[in-house]
Amino acid sequence: MWILHQYPLCPFSRKIRFQCAEKGVAVECVREHPWERRDAFLLLNPAGQTPVFVQGAVTLSDSTAIAEYLEETVERTPLYGAGAEARAETRRMCAWVDQKFYSEVVVPLLAERMFKRLVTRGQPDAATIRGAQRAAEGHLDYLDYLLEHRRWLSGPAFGLADVAAAAQVSVADYLGGIDWDGHEETRTWYSAIKSRPTFRPLLAERMEGLPPPAHYDKLDF
């Protein structure tokens, strides 16, 4: 069985867990806090980042590389779309959420609301949190716009862009970074994601000492 080195609020690990669930790939999760910089973990991934995906002699890191490996090796439930153009759009949207949404929204929320609470025991900076919430607002406007024109984020079929975006949005939502008011298209899309049996286990998981808002795992939010 594949072993995934991860922690519950790592959006890139959520992406791989959600993709594996969609493809029917069994995964055992092993907790890793990358900020501890453990030697044994650095040997697995010199970048010191989660997720790391291991089976026997195969060790993979970087969620984009892992996701493409899974797409190439597991035939069931293809998630990149049919044809070069659809696959390019899937990759564009994955890069959007993995890079822009992550750095502008999730990184500051993780730093202020998780890292300061659980690791350094510092006071969160309200201005940084407000900045992340404003950035989330802009990103949700863009997702609303896309979803006015297409059923799923990269086109007519559910795919890896939805998996990657749901992973990032769910962590931002867990950390109180999302105001759903005025984002009906994205809310309807996320509600459909939340109701997938493959996503429910992610919503049920908690980071110890850091509870999510009450609406976090509700289908009606």
- Ordered alpha helix ranges (H), the chain: 11-23, 39-44, 63-73, 84-95, 107-109, 126-149, 160-174, 184-194, 200-204
Query: Residue 110 CB, nearest distance to ligand GSH (Å)?
Result: 7
Question: Looking at beta carbons only, is 98 or 162 nearer to ligand GSH?
Answer: 98
Question: Looking at beta carbons only, is 64 or 133 nearer to ligand GSH?
Answer: 64
Residue 62, interface with ligand GSH (CB under 6 A)? yes
Q: Residue 167 carries which side chain, given as an amino acid letter?
A: A
Tokens 């899937």 sit at which residue?
A: 90
Residue 64, interface with ligand GSH (CB under 6 A)? yes
Question: Looking at beta carbons only, is 157 or 207 nearer to ligand GSH?
Answer: 207
Q: Which of left, alpha, beta for 129 (phi over 0: left; psi -120 to 50: alpha)?
A: alpha
Single residue of 23, 49, 131, 196 touching ligand GSH by CB under 6 A: 49
Residue 109, interface with ligand GSH (CB under 6 A)? no
Residue 170, interface with ligand GSH (CB under 6 A)? no
Say how far apart CA 174 and CA 54 lie, in whole Å: 27
Residue 48, interface with ligand GSH (CB under 6 A)? yes
Nearest-5° Cα angle at 78, 20 to 1:
30
Q: Name the site residues for ligand GSH (rule: CB under 6 A).
A: 10-12, 34, 48-51, 62-64, 98
